[in-house]
Amino acid sequence: MTRRRRKKQGTVVSSLIVLIAILWGVFTKAGSDPNGSQFLRDFTGNNDEHVTNTISDASKAKTNYGGLSPTDYQKLANLNFKSGSRAYTEVNHDKSTLVKGAWKINRVIYSNLDSLNRTSRSNTAFLEKRNVANDSLRVRQYVEPTGWHYNHRNGTPIYNRGHLIAYSVSAGIDQSGNYDPRNQSGDQNNPKNLFTQSAYSNQKIQTIFEAKVRRALRQNKRVIYQATAVFRGNELMARGVNLQAVSTDGSLNFNVYLYNVQPGYVFNYNNGRAKVDRQMQVNE
């Protein structure tokens, strides 16, 4: 009996040593390896990308109206989309970093193109009801933003000329960003307001948030709306776009990042070229 008890105790001790060694390997890998957090998620079964692939607490840009800061721009640029994930993620708990009290005059601040001719800086609009545009006045788009390519594959649209400040809320705004009541056709073919966007991101996702802005404007609210195409390094196609808005009464308030992705295709963001990938799935 004594020998059996000693043998059983020895087995328990050995098992504990093995378990401790495994746990030590997991946590030291998670702490020292750049991919350790992914290793830990794989080990524990926690693969919720939405928990880690976002910016929980954002800072304001150093402008009188706030908005996306350079630090948070870089954080967004470094996010990677994982097939099967949602097409967008909330930023700053879905709360805008714009300053609602900064609305003074109906206008749009269009940023200049960068040295690579990209719209990599924020465009910020101070909007009111009269900016809701008549869609029948739209004209053919001809500007080719960086990363632009032929628009269809087997009849499927892949690329759109994505407006940062939506055409639908730009009535009366000229290309200098000033309001002119004679310009009811709104902002069209403005190189400072266009970027190469996937058809899915533009037509399926961005329209959700543009509709929220239009709804608030039709309710006679004043809205500050900012859109920023987010590029990684010197890539010519944006990785995504940050959209945020706040009304002066605070009833409208959102802050999201849309991934520039297309179901069934993967992009080379260096040049914008698309390649068929049947495994690429995007969820709304």
- Parse the chain into domains and list their residue ranges: 1-47, 56-276
pLDDT, tens only, 242-261? 999 999 999 999 999 999 99
Closest CA to 179 of 242, 216, 133: 133
CB 143 within 8 Å of CB 189: yes
Q: Give whole-number Cα distances, 123 to 74, 191, 198, 201, in Å.
A: 17, 12, 19, 18
CB 246 within 8 Å of CB 223: yes
User: 194-198 and 273-276 as β-strands: parallel, antiparallel, unpaired?
Assistant: unpaired
Is residue 266 over pLDDT 80? yes
C-alpha span between 222 and 235 (Å, rounded): 35
CB 59 within 8 Å of CB 69: yes
pLDDT, tens only, 136-170? 777 778 899 999 998 766 778 899 999 999 999 99
Residues facing 259 on adjacent strands: 240
3-state secondary structure of 218: helix
For the 56-276 domain, the top CATH level (class) is alpha beta
C-alpha span between 87 and 281 (Å, rounded): 10
Model confidence at 70, in pLDDT bands (50, 70, 90)?
very high
pTM beyond 0.95: no
Specify the pLDDT at position 42. 32
